[in-house]
Every structure is written in C-alpha cells, then in structure tokens.
C-alpha cells in the first residue's frame, strides 16, 4: 500500500463503549470511568433518537390511509372509529420498530398521554386533558369513556402524525362539492396550542362540531386557531 493511500484512509470511529472498555483494561481512575460512562449514556441516547426519527420518517412515507368509517348523526359528519385507526396504524408502525400506547391520569381532570416508542429506546409523547363529556344522555361512566375515546384518538393522531380522510374525496380535496381538511402540520399546531392553554379538547371538538382535529376543514382552521390564541392571550394577561 502506498504512503498516499495510507494517509487518505478513512479513520475507524471509536464508540464511547469501546473507549470505556479500554479504560477499564488500563485500570484508569474511577473519575475517568464515570465520565466515560456518562459520555456513553449520552451517545446511546443520541443514537436512539436518531433511529426513532429515521423510523418515524419511514413510517410516514408509507403511512396507511385511514378512511372515515362511521357517521355521527348528531353533527351529520363522518369520522374514523378509534378501532379502525389504531389497528391499521399500529400494524404499520410495528414494521418500523415503533409502538404507541397510552397512560391515563385522573388526579386533575381526565389526562391521556400517548407515547410513541422505538425499539432502540427513544420515545416521544403527546398529552391532552379533558372533562367528562356531558353531551347527550350519558351516564357518568359513559361520560368518562366518551372523553377517553376523544383523547386517545386525538393524542394518537398527534404523536404518529396521521390523519383520517373521507372515503369519497381526492387527496387534494379539490373534487366538486367536496370539503378539504387541515393538514398533519395544522393538526400538530392546534394540538400544541391545546396542550399549552390546557384546553378541554372534548369541549373544543364539541364547539367545532367535529369528532377529531383532523375533521376540521381548511376553511375553519383560522377560527379554531384564533380561538386558542385568544385563550392563550387571556392566560398570559392574568
């Protein structure tokens, strides 16, 4: 091998764990070993987050299209049942090493957190809080269940970045007489504002006469966002 070839060889990266193993073999001080252990921990977390981001991007590139399969007679609107959404999306998530699950807390309202976790260990979550859904003739348990269903679906859609679509409309929403719906990015924007302002999402959806955030039309997005920004402004001024 020539001297030039030797110089231009790409150096082999040494991981913090390899550095730690070498330090242990040499009998380095405990202080140095602890610093290397901390470095390795941060490196592993960074690698796990990188794997998570790559997996989520791959999932969204081939995410399933969820068609609204139910009708809400009260609001005369179509919506996707939580079963059809979760079953289809979880199957697609698993192909990329991702899994979504929920945590519940009723210590201060009904709080639902949906956690999206990658097999490498990194996870991200979205939390929303609501009160029992008192619309209609529901008993107390049905009121809680209704709100839980709202929150589970809303947090699931937000953390995975998926949205439901009408079964009979074009993707761009330009078909004659067909209404277009807000984008994934707009859903995430509203979710962030709802979380920041601690807005009761069940009541917010009831005001908008929709089953989920993805059911908000592009024409109503401005009004929905303005409502949340107004609440945020009032909260700041208190």
Compute CA distances 5 → 11, 14, 65, 171, whole Å: 12, 21, 52, 54
Whole-angstrom distance, CA of residue 71 vs CA of residue 149: 16
The mean predicted confidence, pLDDT, of the chain is 79
The domain segmentation of the chain, as residue ranges, is 16-60, 62-237
- pLDDT tens for the chain, residues 1 to 238: 455 455 555 555 677 677 767 767 877 777 776 777 887 788 788 889 999 999 999 998 888 877 666 655 555 556 667 787 888 898 899 999 999 999 999 888 899 999 999 999 999 999 999 888 887 778 889 889 888 988 898 899 889 988 665 544 333 333 333 346 787 788 888 988 998 898 988 888 888 877 778 778 878 889 999 999 988 887 766 6
Q: Supply the pLDDT for residue 112.
A: 94
Whole-angstrom distance, CA of residue 3 vs CA of residue 231: 69
Cβ proximity of 114 and 126 under 8 Å: yes
Give the max Cα distance, the chain. 85
């Amino acid at each position: 091998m020539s001297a030039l070839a030797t110089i231009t060889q790409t150096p082999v990266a040494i991981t913090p764990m390899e550095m730690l193993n070498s330090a242990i073999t040499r009998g380095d001080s405990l202080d140095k070993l602890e610093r290397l252990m901390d470095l390795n921990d941060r490196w592993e977390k960074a690698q796990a987050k990188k794997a998570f981001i790559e997996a989520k991007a791959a999932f969204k590139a081939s995410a399933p299209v969820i068609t609204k399969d139910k009708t809400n007679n009260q609001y005369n609107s179509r919506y996707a049942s939580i079963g059809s959404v979760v079953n289809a999306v979880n199957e697609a998530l698993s192909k990329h090493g991702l899994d979504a699950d929920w945590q519940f807390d009723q210590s201060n309202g009904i709080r639902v957190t949906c956690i999206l976790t990658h097999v490498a260990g990194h996870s991200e979550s979205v939390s929303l809080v609501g009160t029992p859904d008192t619309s209609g003739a529901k008993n107390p348990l049905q009121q809680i269940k209704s709100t839980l269903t709202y929150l589970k679906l809303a947090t699931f859609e937000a953390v995975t970045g998926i949205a439901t679509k009408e079964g009979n409309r074009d993707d761009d929403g330009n078909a004659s007489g067909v209404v277009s719906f807000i984008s994934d990015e707009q859903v995430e924007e509203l979710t962030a504002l709802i979380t920041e302002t601690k807005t009761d999402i069940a009541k917010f959806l009831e005001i908008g006469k929709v089953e989920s955030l993805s059911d908000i039309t592009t024409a109503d997005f401005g009004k929905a966002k303005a409502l949340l920004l107004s609440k945020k402004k009032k909260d700041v001024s208190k």
